[in-house]
A and B are shown apart, each in its own frame.
Chain A
Amino acid sequence: MGTIPGRRLIISLFLIFLLLPIYWLINMSFKTNSEIVSTMTLWPHQPTIENYMRIFTDESWYSGYINSLKYVIINTVISISVALPAAYAFSRYRFLGDKHLFFWLLSNRMAPAAVFALPFFNLYSAIGLFDTPWAVALAHCIFNVPLAVWILEGFVSSVPREIDETAFLDGYSFPRFFIKILVPLIASGIGVAAFFCFMFSWVELLLARTLTSVYAKPISAVMTRTVSAAGMDWGLLAAAGALTIIPGALVIWFVRNYIARGFALGRV
């Protein structure tokens, strides 16, 4: 593979650029507020886990994490299960309006969340889903379902048609073929699509905050609370932020060998 001169230096500098702000956040999460405000220290001089303890003992904090995970998981499951058959259809068949439909789907991936915030609020209030994980999960489908269809379509297209034909000749019914043969064949594609759904649902805030108020409040919304009468509680804010990085980091670690293929959207 062709590389460029000075590549080690470039990649190292870039990785440091990426890690430095994260380090600063983590650094701060282990400091007391008085240390943060009074001195500039490159590492915690009086390390404390008090900030984390407060999060783990205060229900409103940790339930925020659980709420976030709830809608992220619901959303991922819905997105993948409706996108799979559609991806197969787009990959294998031509039908009335297929190209327009595909474009329309993709255009929804690009729709600004700010446009939908208010109508969603009205819609989900009207059907009684407001302030439940379902509201956020369904709302996030608007950008995750098109994305999942797009990624999975690439992976399904990389499976030769002959496999479908052989299976049907062997007497497989369509649902059985789908579950027994196709799904295992594109398992890595499903993993990649799930990764992207997880990612975009996890990082989104505007809709998640608009569609919840008390019971389903996501962690990212809880974080905005740290402005107290005494000013910002920086240590607590940093600890909460550091904790939101963990699920993402775990997910990346598990899919690290598929990242390259995933970003090529199955079309390598």
Chain B
Amino acid sequence: MARIDLVDLAHSYSGNDAPPESFALKPVTMTWRQGGAYALLGPSGCGKTTLLNLISGIVTPSRGQILFDGKDITPLSTQKRNIAQVFQFPVIYDTMTVGENLAFPLKNRGVPKAEISARVKRIAELLDLAPYLNRKATRLTADAKQKISLGRGLVRSDVAAILFDEPLTVIDPELKWQLRSKLKALHRELDLTMIYVTHDQTEALTFADTVVVMHDGRVVQSGSPAELFDKPAHTFVGYFIGSPGMNIVPAHVDGREARIDGHTIGLHRNYGVLPADAKIEIGVRPEFVDIAPPASGLLAATIERIDDLGRIRFARVRVGDSKFAARVPPGFSVPDNMAGLVFDPAHVHVYADSLLVEGVA
């Protein structure tokens, strides 16, 4: 068990001399708390698997250091790092029984027999695998196989962290939920650092207490699910998280006012004068924009369609050239295609070159 520090860590598959823009992982410095449940979230190709493989030691970084509890482990091999990893597809040693699979990492490390069987028994109980210990592992279902892969990590008493690389990809939808709950329960029980890579925001937000969002080789935000939702640090986080994603529209921002398409909306904070050459946008989640009957004080919009999600309805509208999603208040019936938009100023954020600008209250 350990705290993990990444210090100026970066990696390029074509070597350190490659142009900085081509790096699969751009330099990042951050700390992973001991006992934390982290999710690495991002679309495929964003560098999240690279980061995971750097931590596990499968890939050696082009630059920077990885510290476990302050100790530099960058040059150490995977074996010496005390890391466990669960892969996308279940890795099972075909010829072995479930019990032998679980015992494999301990046997390789020369642990005494009695201790092995005690550990295997305990982990099998923890993972509900006890009844299958003497069965051939190949005959089990995919979710049981993933549990075995996880179990091979858990049997070792010395693991610093457990890494998950999209572990639910091959699991049936209804079992996904079960397995995820199991993971959460294990996390609480065992006080382990867990890092979970996924491109599925629901998986990330339900599993982790800290979600690290990556985009184009960069960590763009790291925070609790609520922070990501309320205050995305980057426009990418805004539209990647949430369904529908955040509305991002170009605007002119001056002090406490933003002008979109000739219409002025009030802001909660004062943004002063923003740099002139930056691309200025405002972002607001659909949950904080309401549809209203058209009125002179409101931003005029054309309704294109209504999505009824059951508990909530969203209107897809068009404002000038930009598309917008907005909440349809309960009981509100849309008169015709024209509508006005009501903003909640507290949740309107300003972005300069895609990065959040902190205003002054």
Check A-B contact in the complex, CB < 8 A. no
Chain A residues engaging chain B, CB cutoff 8 angstroms: none
